[in-house]
């Protein structure tokens, strides 16, 4: 993993392969920054990114990891998900979007309201693969994943679609190697406190319920964005 902290890049440990809850964008995902879209792989610590709830926010930490063909063959559960242009509804994303399997996508619908009491929820991309236009990208023989942190969990625009930034929940933090974790803790010391609880930008839907949500959308021929 390549870690950037205050603009300085250092070598970190590998992702923990048996815990794949880390949230990543493909390096070519277009993130809406300060008035323009920037490829996730080109973002730097300190860059301002447009967020749904708090306007422009500075990136505090970035992690990157390249997975080659051998790694993807050994760990098929890390293969990226491709969300094709328009697959979410309302013309979004505006172009094909590559994310890691656990990367959560914002769903906004009446079905979500009926199921969860919230019109907007976050669902892992891999739970949506039964829907048209959302698939495991088996044709990619390698992928570079990028994840980044703000001061708090945020909703950002990637290829025009609303998706999450990295969430500092306990499971997510266990998904990065020890050196990456040390970097994050140095920037966010409050996370080391047992009483520190990360607050998600929207309700996080479990895998089982996310699949149920996708099934209901498919059965009713309703887009994920309504």
Cβ(83)–Cβ(133) below 8 Å: yes
Which positions ≥6 away from 14 have C-beta within 8 Å? 1, 65, 177
The CATH class given to the 2-102+129-195 domain equals mainly beta
pTM of the model: 0.84
Q: Indicate if the pLDDT at residue 3 is higher than 70.
A: no
Q: Which residue has the higher pLDDT, 1 or 87?
A: 87
Query: What are the boundaries of each domain within the chain?
Result: 2-102+129-195
Q: For residue 125, what is the DSSP state? A: G
Q: For residue 47, what is the DSSP state? A: -
Q: Indicate if the pLDDT at residue 94 is higher than 60.
A: yes
The mean pLDDT value for 144-171 works out to 91
Cβ(71)–Cβ(140) below 8 Å: no
Question: Which pLDDT value is given to residue 193?
Answer: 62
Q: Which residue has the higher pLDDT, 2 or 81?
A: 81
Q: How far apart are CA 24 and CA 41, in angstroms?
A: 11
How crowded is residue 218: how many other Cβ atoms within 10 Å of its Cβ? 13
Concatenating the DSSP letter of every residue in 203-220 gives EEPPHHHHHHHHHHHHHT
The mean pLDDT value for 35-44 works out to 97
Q: Indicate if the pLDDT at residue 152 is higher than 90.
A: yes
Poorest-confidence range of 5-9, 43-47, 166-170, 192-196? 5-9
Q: How far apart are CA 154 and CA 55, in angstroms?
A: 10
**Torsion, Cα of 156, 169, 115, 93 (10° steps):** 20
């Amino acid at each position: 993993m390549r870690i950037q902290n205050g603009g300085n890049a250092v070598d970190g440990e590998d992702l923990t392969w048996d815990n794949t809850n880390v949230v990543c964008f493909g390096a070519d995902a277009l993130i809406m920054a300060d008035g323009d879209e920037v490829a996730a792989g080109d973002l730097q610590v300190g860059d301002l990114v447009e967020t749904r709830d708090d306007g422009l926010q500075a990136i505090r930490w970035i992690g990157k990891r390249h997975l080659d063909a051998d790694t993807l063959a050994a760990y098929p559960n890390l293969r990226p998900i491709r969300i094709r242009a328009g697959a979410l509804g309302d013309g979004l994303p505006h172009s094909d979007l590559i994310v890691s399997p656990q990367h959560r996508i914002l769903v906004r619908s009446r079905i979500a309201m009926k199921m969860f009491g919230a019109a907007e929820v976050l669902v892992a991309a891999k739970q949506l693969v039964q829907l048209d236009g959302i698939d495991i990208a088996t044709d990619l023989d390698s992928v570079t994943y990028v994840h980044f942190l703000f001061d708090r969990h945020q909703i950002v625009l990637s290829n025009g679609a609303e998706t999450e930034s990295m969430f500092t929940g306990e499971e997510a933090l266990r998904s990065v190697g020890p050196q990456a974790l040390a970097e994050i803790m140095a920037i966010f010391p409050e996370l080391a406190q047992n009483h520190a609880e990360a607050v998600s930008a929207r309700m996080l839907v479990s895998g089982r319920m996310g699949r149920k949500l996708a099934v209901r959308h498919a059965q009713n021929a309703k887009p994920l964005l309504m």
